[in-house]
Chains A and B, each alone.
Chain A
Amino acid sequence: QDLPETTLSVVGSWSSLPLYQKFERVFWEETVPAASGGKITVNMTTFNQMGVSGGDVFRMLGDGVFEVGMTVGDYTVADAPELEGLDVPLLATDADSARKMVAAAKPMVADIMRDRFNAHMLAIAPYPPQVVFCNAEIASLDDLGGKKIRGSGRMTTLFLEALGAEGITMAFSEVPGALERGVIDCAVTGAGSGYSSGWFESSTHLVNLPLGGWDPVITAVNLDAWNAMDPAVQAFLTEQVKTGFEDPAWDDAAGALARDIACLTGSGECAAGAAASMTLVELSDADKARAVEVLEQKILPDWAERAGGDWAERWNASVGAALGVSIAN
């Protein structure tokens, strides 16, 4: 392949998490240079290694501080409330439906990235689902009512409040101590992060429900840089990012959740270390139906108002249609 020489500054997502270590870094530092025959070279770092807040990544990307940037879509909704629709809690309960949800949302996300952040969307890859660690008996969705829960993201917090729970803001590092001392009853994070940070030592019940959504990570290119690229480079990146990054990351997602749950509950082989023995809570179909009802009646209409424009209709026609959910008017 005959590509013009190109150098890219790439800023990845959290350097401590598997998405970066297993997929982002490998793709940009190994796959891209190799597949381009050494024509495309990459300087890679991550936003946390630069001390950049996750919510500032796309602002800086739009300004051209770097060419390629990755961050959790939910971190940037201060600048683009319509982006909240990419990651609605509880709608996708397994990796396949999450993938369907994200695929349906992609055209909207591409428009948002272009209009809000002067950027071209390249890919969307998932973090593991954001499940709930509780230091309390939990058997149903109702049991979350009245609990103090450390959530993340506005939509999750609003959902918790709709259930009668209290949303608490707290730094990630303070969570284990707070769970232990009863300052909070539950906290939301990825199952893998919770395992590697030892949250199982201060909590008893693992609610296997993506209350915090999937925290999809958007990869985007500065639009000016993108437009200045040779069409061959554009085509190369578009194709490679799908086969070399997005697909493998999604293929891994389903297995990852099962592996992490095995480590947290001791229900199976744990390759990461000693397995813990948390109680796994799977919510009933009635609970799931109730969650969807709360979303349809309260959370999503509120979002439609925040986002304004025709986002509710676009959402209903894409994500909603794919998952059989509809925002009430």
Chain B
Amino acid sequence: MRIAVCIKQVPNTTEIKIDPVTNTLKRDGVPSIMNPDDKAALESALVLKDKYNAEVVVVTMGPPQAELILREAMSMGADEAFLVTDRAFAGSDTWATSTILAAALKKVGYDIIIGGRQAIDGDTAQVGPQIAEHLDIPQVTYVVEIDIDEKNNVCRVKKEFEDRYQIVEVKGKALFTVLSGMNEPRYMLVGGIVDQEEKAITVITVNDIEVDRGNIGLLGSPTKVKSSFSKTVDSNKELIELSPQEAAKVIADKLAEKHII
């Protein structure tokens, strides 16, 4: 069983800077971490490695410095790492990113793919499901438990809803997106940190994958960000303490007064 885990390097700060020209996030000079949902995805894969001796490979798309989270993943126990990087990929939206990653994952090879639900920088939750669509494989999102039955080629997963869980069985290749609350990711191991230094990372560029160049990068991205801005704190606040029923009426009246409803 070969498990491919999609991970992303994200800025570890709430002060995200935005490029005024492209309206996309500026990542240089901002401290970076492995996206928390993705770290949970990696942990869930490593648990399957511990249990069934599954092979865990990590894949990230990003600038060259994203190598750091691949090396972090190997220090935690991932077997192999792939860095999908090329200037031609820059400025990709979720459609272009999932197009590239799907093509890269075909090259990497997988039985199942696990990714985080969403990244803390964009919060779109689109890339995972889109990859599954590009690869034409089943997907289950918002997963909090994964178990595999290799003999019957089946994965049994627990999907979280707001008020209930659903147990889903998937046959064959599949993609799951997981939530960061599902587990407590392990620490990097001292031995793993020492060993990763000897391991090479496979770089995948635009020439290594089969993609239509018109579907990737900034120009291949149908999404155009109109404008981005930081929220300003409105000091014009009014504190009213009421029971829920009374409060609902007051809020409705206020919204009507401002012609919002």
- Asked if A pairs with B, the answer is no
Chain B residues packing against A (C-beta within 8 Å) = none
Chain A residues packing against B (C-beta within 8 Å) = none
